[in-house]
Amino acid sequence: MTLISYRQALHDTLRSEMHRDDRVFLIGEEIGLFEGSYKITAGLLAEFGPRRVRDTPIAEEGFTGAAIGAAMLGLRPVVEIMTINFSLLALDQIVNHAAKIYGMFGGQARVPMVIRTPGGGGQQLGATHSQNIELYYAFVPGMKVVAPSTPADAKALMLAAVRDDDPVLVLENLALYNTKGEVPDEDLPADIGTAAVTREGADITVVAYSRMAAVALRAAEELAATDGIDVEVVDLRSLRPLDRETVIASVRKTNCAVVLEDDWLTYGIGAEVAASISDGAFDWLDAPVRRVAMAEVPLPYSKPLETAALPSTDDAITAIRQTLDAVARRR
Amino acid sequence: MPSPAGAPTRGGAPATGPDPVLDDEPALRLYRQMVLIRRFEERAARAYTEAKVGGYCHLNLGEEATVVALMAALDRTDYLFTNYREHGYAIARGIDPGRVMAELYGRTDGVSRGWGGSMHLFDVESRLMGGYGIVGGQIPLATGAALAIDYRDDDQVVMCLMGDGATNIGAFHESLNLAALWNLPIVYVVVNNGRGMGTSVEQASAEPELFRRASSYRMPSSRVDGNDPEAVYEAAIEAIGTARSGQPCLLETVSGRLKGHSVVDPAKYRDRAETEALMAADPVAAFAARLRERGVLGDALSAEIDSEVTTVVEAAAAFAEASPLPDVATLFDHTYATPVRNDSRRLPGQPLFPIGASMGAPA
Ligand SMILES: Cc1ncc(C[n+]2csc(CCOP(=O)(O)OP(=O)(O)O)c2C)c(N)n1
């Protein structure tokens, strides 16, 4: 185990996978000479050269599509899209091609590629640069979407993604890049499609992913200290496929749940989780499943408006307390 | 619009021609605006380091000659679309610098009421139809505005600004094709400052003489020294005239970016020689030298302009500082232009339904 940042875990994993497999190459805007907008690829151009670390023009649709084509011939491209907002320019290639090629041609061609891209707002980047639209990809059969919330998972899920034979979108997060954690030294790829119970607890289940999974743990520690509430945290890790079993097992134990998400509430990831809980744990529920999500507005630039619109640890704590109050009234 | 015989190179100080393009008074007006934008941007950078400005903040430092000359050539009633590097254009378009600074500060008196920030300035009155943060995003919109003008048989033109990097986005090519096909009154201006973020034009564009890209659409185009305000002015007047006659065209201005891509970029990818060449070609200093040579600008006037501009910029910062932050109660005011039933006005901590509403009567 080594204590490193989420950024470092991503960097080290990409580097070691490039050493392991010559088919793996990096492609994206400003990843080489500029060393990556968020410095995930720092030093890799110098180490591997421009064949393996390919700087592109600003042409998301073009280079993402080109990566899909290269993957069809057996290369294993890792595409960096600077932030998930700009993936919208490549949406057609991802949804209509990356996700379709295996099925549409009857299983004859695979698309073993990774799309790495950070989500996250909260830095006054404004409406077009602060979106959490991973749902657009998680909605599509044929795509795999993973969302690490810790440095250890950043490594494990990136390893799994690079070695997977399907297109995998790895959702990173701007606010997580500097967070630190213990990371195993060995290569242990995660099982894509599985969630993890990151904190065991008896009183309430909190389901989250990416940045909000870290918020969930913070809220849990705070509530343990202040209210003696014992929160169980389920980190989804994989948005598609979705590990409903782990969520349901937890709710059947705690009898109530809160979902935390950084995307918009209506039709969001939390809606799918809540519907799954209703399907799989109806008789176990002692309160409605509560969702904490971003206010449904184009995110304003101005700080007080932005702060009000984004879900916070306090919002999570309030929702957990209110849900447990409702449970208590019921019992 | 003829294609130029020799394309100007980056970094040369503007030559002093025998016939000035501009008379003394308009030349001085441009110079004053250039100094104003220079000082405004420096002040904005300072405000950023003081955490008064957040998000991304891209400056026009090094592009002042291009900025003021393009805006001087554009009529009041013409329309402007631009990218996120647009503070200078807003000011040169006549918007009060205080309102521009207030937007950077996220205040209610900002041009976009604090909703847009540095990248998203908008002002109906001056027909600044927006700075846009998605690279290339403004190009189809500007093309559509030209379509509207043509549709209504009006005689304004649209000027659509973009960086060199934006010419590699598909929407650039789609838009130029549409405009050429439909003879729309639009001038596309590629403000070539040498780099996208760190990537140079040569690294990103297979045809690095960007103005030549227009020829794929049989659209006239030319390239001009973006460090020379008079040359830009002349070229822009011609381009705008061409567009007004229903012939879309493209103008490439070649200048430099004195600092990083945004205020947080230390520009480590540049070597010393490149930085020194940029400084040597500084358009503000070069134009000052030309005006001095012409006898239009002397020490006293130069000092007067400096102090006047400093006062304006300080007043802008003070105005921004004093302007109120938006009230959180206004968070849901701008989702839809028209009221609509069942619009979500829920804060993140609020439940969808009152607590217990679906649980029958509490005990
Ligand atoms: C579609 C899209 N991709 C990437 C980005 C990130 N980005 C912002 S500015 C920029 C460079 C743009 O360079 P250029 O068009 O030359 O304009 P300049 O910033 O030099 O004015 C990039 C890559 C973005 N905003 N939008």
- Tell me the pLDDT tens digit for each residue of B24-40: 999 999 999 999 999 99
> Residues A200, A178: one domain?
no
What does chain B come to in residues?
363
pLDDT at B343 over 50: yes
Which residue in A161, A171, A178 sits closest to A85, CA to CA? A171
Contacts of B72 by beta carbon, 8 Å cutoff, 6+ apart: B26, B29, B30, B92, B233, B236
Distance from CA of B81 to the nearest CA of A (A): 17
Our CA-based measurement puts residue B204 at a distance from the nearest CA of chain A, in whole angstroms, of 5
Residue A21 included in any domain: yes
Same domain, A209 and A291: yes
Query: What pLDDT is recorded for position B361?
Result: 57
Radius of gyration of chain B (CA): 22
Q: Is the pLDDT of residue B7 over 80?
A: no
Residue B158, domain member (yes or no): yes
Q: Taking the mean position of all CA atoms in its chain, how far away is CA A319?
A: 22
Asked if residue A191 belongs to a domain, the reply is no
10-residue averages of pLDDT along chain A (331 residues)? 98 98 98 96 98 98 98 98 98 98 98 97 93 98 98 98 98 97 98 98 98 98 98 98 98 98 97 98 97 97 98 98 95 80
Q: Confirm whether A129 is a catalytic residue.
A: yes
Residue B342 covered by a domain: no
B196 CB near ligand 1 (under 6 Å): yes
List the CATH number of the domain containing A211: 3.40.50.920
Q: What is the CATH number of the domain that holds A6?
A: 3.40.50.970
Question: Are both A109 and A130 inside the same structural domain?
Answer: yes
Closest residue by Cα to residue B116 from A305, A296, A310, A308: A305
Calculate mean pLDDT across residues B158-164.
Answer: 98
Domain limits for position B139 = 60-96+112-295
Is B228 inside any structural domain? yes
Question: How far, rounded to the nearest angstrom, does the alpha carbon of residue A212 sit from its chain's CA centroid?
Answer: 10
Give the pLDDT of residue B20: 86
Residue A188 lies in a domain: no
Domain-embedded: residue B335: no
Residue B301 included in any domain? no
Q: Is residue B51 part of a domain?
A: no
Question: What is the percent of chain A where pLDDT is above 90?
Answer: 99
Domain assignment present for residue B319? The answer is no
Q: Please indicate, yes or no, whether residues A67 and A8 belong to a single structural domain of this protein.
A: yes
Strand locations in chain A (E): 2-5, 24-29, 53-56, 76-80, 114-119, 144-146, 168-173, 180-183, 196-199, 204-208, 231-235, 238-240, 257-264, 290-294
pLDDT of residue A160: 98
Q: Is the same domain home to A15 and A118?
A: yes
B344 with A265: Cβ contact below 8 A: yes
The number of domains in chain B is 1
If one residue of A82, A92, A130, A174 were mutated to test the ligand 1 pocket, choosing by the most ligand atoms within 8 A of its CB, it would be A82
Query: Does the pLDDT at position B363 exceed 80?
Result: no
Q: What is the largest CA-CA distance in chain A?
A: 65
The residue written with tokens 């990409």 in the block is A14
Query: Residue B88 falls within a domain, yes or no?
Result: yes
Instruction: Respond yes or no: is residue A60 known to be catalytic.
Output: yes
The answer to whether residues A212 and A104 belong to one domain is: no
Count of domains observed in chain A: 2
Separation between Cα atoms, residue B227 and residue B93, nearest integer Å: 19
Which strand ranges, in their side-by-side order, compose the sheet holding A76-80? Answer: A53-56, A24-29, A76-80, A114-119, A168-173, A144-146, A238-240
In a domain, A233, yes or no: yes
- A189: in domain: no
Domain that holds residue A47: 2-183
Q: What is the pLDDT of residue B190?
A: 98
**Same domain, residue pair A144 and A36:** yes
> pLDDT-based confidence at B92, cuts 50/70/90?
very high
- Return the pLDDT at B5: 40
For residue A124, give the nearest of B116, B168, B137, B8 by alpha carbon: B116
Mean pLDDT of B197-208: 96
Tell me if A251 is assigned to some domain.
yes
Contact A58 B56 (CB under 8 A): no
- Pocket mutation for ligand 1, best pick of B64, B168, B172, B197 (most atoms within 8 Å of C-beta): B197
Q: What is the pLDDT of residues A185-209, one digit of tens each?
A: 999 999 999 999 999 999 999 999 9
B362 has a pLDDT exceeding 70 = no
Task: Report the atom number in ligand 1 closest to the C-alpha of B257.
Answer: 20
Q: A207 and A179 in one domain?
A: no
Question: Which of A183, A204, A228 delimits the end of a domain?
Answer: A183
A62 and A7 in a common domain = yes
With a 6 A CB cut-off, is B260 part of the ligand 1 pocket? no
Same domain? A17 vs A150: yes
Going by pLDDT thresholds of 50, 70 and 90, the confidence category of residue B18 is: low
CATH number of the CATH domain containing B150: 3.40.50.970
* Beta carbons within 10 angstroms of residue B148's beta carbon: 13
A-chain residues within 8 Å CB-CB of B204? 56-58
Residue B6 has pLDDT above 50, yes or no: no
